[in-house]
Amino acid sequence: MQVKAVKFGGSSLADPEQFKKVHEIISSDPTRRYVVASAPGKRFDSDTKVTDMLYACYDMAVAGLDFGAFFDGISARFDAIIDGLGIELDLSAEYESIKTSFRRGAGRDFAASRGEYLNAKILAEYLGYDMIDAAGVVFFRDDGSLDEKRTYTTLAAELRMHERAVIPGFYGSMPNYTIKTFSRGGSDVTGAIVARSANATIYENWTDVSGFLMADPRIVKSPLGIKTVTYRELRELSYMGAGVLHEDSVFPVRSAGIPINIRNTNRPEDPGTMIVAGTDVYDRDHVITGIAGKKDFSVIRIDKDRMAYQRGMLHRIVEILDYNGVHVEHLPSGIDTMSVVVHTNELSGKYDIITESISHAVNPDYIVIEDGLALIAVVGRGMVGSYGIASRVFEALAKAGINVRMIDQGACEINIIVGVAEQDFEAALRAIYAEFVKD
């Protein structure tokens, strides 16, 4: 039988009404057999996620404060879900045991993981599914990295023993049996691991938006949704700030050729965004897949006559930056000039030392560090081999009166990066979007 692995995010499991939607989604398709649950998220804008409450509560416990009343606020969130669903489940023994572990200093990761653990228990009971504790099937190594081989083998064997199951997201265990979590938003990663271990045909990631949009809706008014995006394109877009999915969730499924489908629990009729390993098919109306960007970059510009003929220069510059804890983001270069684009915050307090060290090492004719750069990535598999795309980007910017301070296009051709002054960022994004997506 076909298998789908489905993950529901915190907002999809925040209260009884959301649980009911989840029930409907799962029961409408019998192949949705393995379900990964997040902790209850926000029910409204000013609400607090249960994970954040657990961190705060544990901090109180470590500080020796009386955290009983605060913990009652957390258990009340779960009890309200149980009551609202009308299921027979009493978690009071679990609450007591968690409080005891807090007092014994079970760790912040353990504390945070209880949100997923308890919510998975409720969801399993409500759906009539088995529950598989992630602590026994997701394993980390001593250095904190995921032990993929052990995890996939153990989890695959466990899943074979369950026709249908709920698995809590976000955590696993260390070789010494303590609990460790992924970074924030890590239930996405668990979902991918489950999809891979179940050899699923698809990994559905249910959240509160209908997939990725072609541009940031806070900047571009009602941008179109992205129907299909490749993993490569997604990496480019998310690196530049297009959120929604935890970036590590791509790896387990990509190599296994399992597509990810981002779906909206509140609008299950929407097809969402499909993330696939590769496809030549692209949206011919728009050519590009999406636009994303970030502010707070700086450029270190280094000019030197006959630079192109000098060996080892780049190496020395990169070494100096590395030594000072500065990562190189982009390296657009000319014949006698080189620009190194870096994150401004990494330069803090180091402008002089970096300028001096580079001057000393490569004796440039001119060196300057300029802040206030924003980068915009125009991404699309449809750009490969088609001409005129770059000129459309620049024409759109020129028409909007925006000066392009830097250009970078990787040899893979799915990406053009332009640097503009920070104050032009929003206008530049809108101009590029309008060029490719006509009303």
Binding positions for ligand ASP, rule: CB under 6 A = 9-10, 38-39, 49, 51, 115, 169-170, 184-188
What own/partner pairs with CB < 8 Å and gap ≥ 24 does 399-404 have? 399/431, 400/427, 400/428, 400/430, 400/431, 402/427, 402/428, 402/431
Q: Using the minimum distance from each CB to ligand ASP, give the nearer residue, 205 or 230.
A: 205
Using the structure block, give the residue that is written with the tokens 């904190």: 144
Residue 355 Ramachandran class (φ > 0 left, ψ -120 to 50 alpha, else beta): alpha
Q: Using the minimum distance from each CB to ligand ASP, give the nearer residue, 22 or 320.
A: 22
Minimum distance of ligand ASP from residue 363's CB (angstroms): 49
Minimum distance of ligand ASP from residue 58's CB (angstroms): 14
The identity of residue 223, as a single letter, is P
**Rounded-to-integer distance, Cα 434 and Cα 439, Å:** 8
Q: Using the minimum distance from each CB to ligand ASP, give the nearer residue, 38 or 357.
A: 38
Neighbours of 320 (CB within 10 A): 19
Q: Using the minimum distance from each CB to ligand ASP, give the nearer residue, 187 or 298.
A: 187
Q: Using the minimum distance from each CB to ligand ASP, give the nearer residue, 260 or 288.
A: 260
**Rounded-to-integer distance, Cα 425 and Cα 432, Å:** 11
Q: Report which DSSP code applies to 77.
A: H
Q: Using the minimum distance from each CB to ligand ASP, give the nearer residue, 170 or 203.
A: 170
Question: And the tokens for 84?
Answer: 């609202």
Minimum distance of ligand ASP from residue 264's CB (angstroms): 16
Contacts of 14 (CB under 8 A, 6+ apart): 40, 41, 42, 43, 47
**Rounded-to-integer distance, Cα 398 and Cα 409, Å:** 19
Which residue's CB comes closest to ligand ASP?
187
